Amino acid sequence: MKIGELTKGFFRENPLFVIVLGVCPSLATSGSLQTALAMGAAVIFVCVGSNVGVSLLRKVIPGGVRIACFIVVISTFVTITDLFLKAYFPDISRTIGIFIPLIVVNCIMLGRAEAFASKNTVMDSLLDGIGMGCGYTLALLLMGTIRELSGNGSLFGVKVLPGYNPMTVMISPPGAFLLLGLLLGFFKWMQLRKAAAR
């Protein structure tokens, strides 16, 4: 059990900004902090659940049909999340819409199952799942903060910038693409600077 498995997802191997996985939901749900947080929580739950599930079953799953088995494990946890949100947070469930069931085809889950959980112990996979889920959530929250603040002048729906004339484009699709492009460039710049310093 290594604590490095937990922290690598936050920055060094951040799933969204460094590995560029799970782009679709990150753009679709970062228009407000509320949906970004809900999506992040859903991803943490599914990522931890499927990582542990796949890791537990890794000796039983035959190699030839492993992807199909991973999908069954992942979709179990996605369905739990979907039903939970529908029952307790119907408004959020309606706003996020199909992006909750679409976690099934999110490359983060399948990628972690294939690259990590199917080869490592349950404890390491658990930490990896938490780390990757939290790293993704941090990325979502960063995008959500920038987009909601600049596009609506609010945080979690509360106006914090009185007299600010919001740039509505930031909460619409073009703003999402633009911001992600700039953030990816920023993270690449940080990496290049670090590599040059070494």
Partner 1 sequence: MSLERIFLIVIGNLFVTNFVLARFLGLCPFVGVSKRTSDALGMGLAVTFVMAMASVLTHTIDSYVLRPQAPLLVALAGAESQIAREGLQAVLRTLVYILTIAAFVQLVEMFLKKNIPALYRALGIYLPLITTNCAVLGVALLNTPEDPAEMLTLPEAVIQGTAAGLGFTLVMLLMAGIRERIEALDLPEPMRGMPIAFVCTGLMALAFLGFTGMV
Residues that bind partner 1 (CB under 8 A): 20, 23-25, 27-28, 67-68, 71-72, 75-76, 78-79, 82-83, 86, 98, 101-102, 104-107, 110, 169, 172-178, 180-182, 184-186, 188-189, 192
Q: Which is nearer to partner 1, 28 or 134 (CB)?
A: 28
The three-class DSSP label of residue 118 is coil
Q: What are phi and psi of 183, to 5 degrees?
A: -65, -40
Q: Which two tokens stand for residue 43?
A: 């991803």
Nearest-approach distance from CB 87 to partner 1, in angstroms:
10
Which lies closer to partner 1 via its Cβ, residue 130 or residue 146?
A: 146
Q: What is the token pair recorded at 191?
A: 């990496």
CB 28 within 8 Å of CB 172: no
Q: How far is the CB of 10 from partner 1 (least distance, A)?
A: 20
CB of 107 to partner 1, least distance (A): 6
Nearer to partner 1, 10 or 187 (CB): 187
Type and span of the H or E element at 158: strand 158-159
The least distance separating partner 1 from the CB of residue 114, rounded to whole angstroms, comes to: 11
- CA 95, chain centre distance (Å): 17
DSSP reduced 3-state for 96: helix
